[in-house]
Amino acid sequence: MDFLKDHSIQNELLLIFFSVLLGLCIGAEREYRNKSAGLRTFILVCFGSCLFTILSIKIGVENPDRLAANIITGIGFLGAGVIFKGDNKIDGITTATTIWATASIGMAVGSGYVYLSFLGTILVLLILSSLTYFEKFIDRQHKIREYKIAVTNAKEILHCEKLFKKHNLKFIISKQQYSQGNLATNWILTGKNTNHEALMKELMEDEKIIAYQF
């Protein structure tokens, strides 16, 4: 009995070590990209999920998923802490979902599904790295930016629209503000990234444009 107990403890220690290793792999990728949650966060998420899963199997004889089910809830609160609003979009969603996926990998390790957790880690790393290039390709073809352009009067709004059409950019007005003789308009422009770059160059040289930012 003591031999079986020692053998079980050794297996659990190996599972915990393996969860730390998998968390390290995912955390290293996030740390390399300088994300809000880095190396230590992902190691602890994977390790903690693994340990909680092992404990739920050991403690919950009648209901072994009692503790493991609450891991998902706890990870939800943790993931919400890395989501924040940027200038033009919501940032941190990818990191939050990666934390969620890492917790599932830790749970798989704690349940003894080592091969499944290893496959999950590879898929997470492939999604985070390989699909980044695909996202950049889409971004180049369909870039959405919000510009704030200041002009002297309302007549220059038509001039701005002509510039947008010249560079094949779709546009809508999101907000306007008038102060001290200047009219500042927030435009949401959609088009190719090269068209955005050409527009910015022309805005800098245009005498009718007082100032712009995006």
Band (4; pLDDT cuts 50, 70, 90) = very low
DSSP H helical segments within 33-65, as ranges? 39-59
What pLDDT was estimated at residue 203?
A: 86
Q: Residue 8: how many CB atoms within 10 A of its CB?
A: 11
What type of residue is 2?
Answer: D
CATH of span 142-213 = 3.30.70.260
Q: Within its chain, how far is the Cα of 198 from the centroid?
A: 29
* Better-predicted residue by pLDDT, 40 or 88: 40
Which tokens in the block code for residue 159? 């001039």
Q: Which of 122, 108, 154 is nearest to 15 (CA)?
A: 108
Provide, rounded to the nearest whole percent, the portion of the chain with pLDDT above 90: 21
**Domains of the chain by residue range:** 8-139, 142-213
52 in Cβ contact with 71 (< 8 Å): yes
Q: Which of 59, 61, 111, 100 is nearest to 78 (CA)?
A: 100
Band (19; pLDDT cuts 50, 70, 90) = very high
pTM given for the model: 0.70
Range in 30-39, 49-58, 80-89, 125-134 with the lowest mean pLDDT: 80-89
Whether pLDDT at 181 is above 90: no
Range in 19-28, 101-110, 173-182 with the lowest mean pLDDT: 173-182
